[in-house]
Structure 1
Amino acid sequence: MTTEVVTFGCRLNAYESEVIREKALSAGLTNAAIFNTCAVTAEAERQARQAIRKYRRENPDAKIIVTGCSAQISPETYSKMPEVDQILGNREKMEEKYFLPLPDHERVIVNDIMFIKETAEHLIAGFDGKARGFIQVQNGCNHRCTFCTIPYGRGNSRSVPLWVIVDQTRLLLEKGFKEKPAKVKTFFRKGIAGAWKDEMPEDLVKQICTDHAE
């Protein structure tokens, strides 16, 4: 049995789930399910717990790993669930070593995400079973809005290096993910304007659009 990645929440989670899938495959993880959770609403967290319990009933011998924002913010919630074998934080889920089938892994590996100053530089080949692709341009948030959990699950704001954004965009377009160039440009602007202030890489964005214009 191969490893299944179950995604809850935002497009960034969808992107990271593809990274997780590739890392788990490279690590040789089999007969497992990785739940990439969301913490934006209580309902999203409830659905994740429900899905975990259902998966365990249907797959009693599989390994269950829980990660994502809910696991980062409330690891104790999942550590109390007998269905869960391992809990990984949002930083740890992006590292292959935590998916290696080693017997000496700690059950809960969730570190303080507020000290993270950079984004992981991963390139993915595509999105399993999906026609649309997403590109990570930024992670985290510096604001502390009253009812928002994002900073506590994602850490402070940090941008993806420009060359990674460009290479990932080109790779997905070459793989057949035909997002319109204008939308790509808008996505770039919304994603990095806040973190990079006024330093917009218009020339490189235009080059991507020109190279792959229909």
Structure 2
Amino acid sequence: MRIVIAEDSVLLREGLIRLLVDAGEEVVGTAGDAEEAMAVIEAERPDIVVMDVRMPPTHTDEGLRAAIRTRELWPDIAVLVLSQWVEERYATELLAGSTTGVGYLLKDRVADVRDFVDAVRRVGAGGTALDPDVVSQLLATSRHRSPLEALTPRETEVLRLMAEGRSNRAIAEALVVSDGAVEKHVSNIFMKLDLPIADTDHRRVLAVLRYLEAAP
């Protein structure tokens, strides 16, 4: 398997190279920052990229952005990102698209050589490798997340006016928009709140109930 490693810590980068080469894999390129990583990936077109989430110059999300960009430009290249701790927003963003050939591991897992090499191979072959701590946190967050978080500010405003008992025409007048714009917002609200058309349910009432349940 042809691998590119993007990691700004020289010691960790050299350690990853040794682990993978000793396991019989081929490291075809390395990088110390996200910009360099993208250039190496484009030149080498590896089977998989092992990428640190936080890289120079700001050490915030450069690596994650490069990983997402890699999947957009070259969908056939697998991506395994490494992070010091669980960063929910980054994990969610990485997994928002296809989960084929993608992984998110905490750096502590690298200490278990066999598990790490297995994860690299699994992701490189088109599978998924998610750290148990990442999975636990994402599940816990999803259980407590308000369904209204999926709505845009304007959709939330429309739903608030619906809860006041206003018709689409009244909402349009209050927001100074067209009736068609309100209908589109209402349709989006139904979709995002998972309220499909059903003969036995009144979606407008159900949407308002969701709003009232989630209201502080």
Rg larger in 1 or in 2? 2
Shared fold per TM-score greater than 0.5:
no
TM-score, normalisation: structure 2: 0.39
Higher relative contact order (CA 8 A, sep 6+): 1
TM-score, normalisation: structure 1: 0.39
- The structure richer in helix per residue is 2
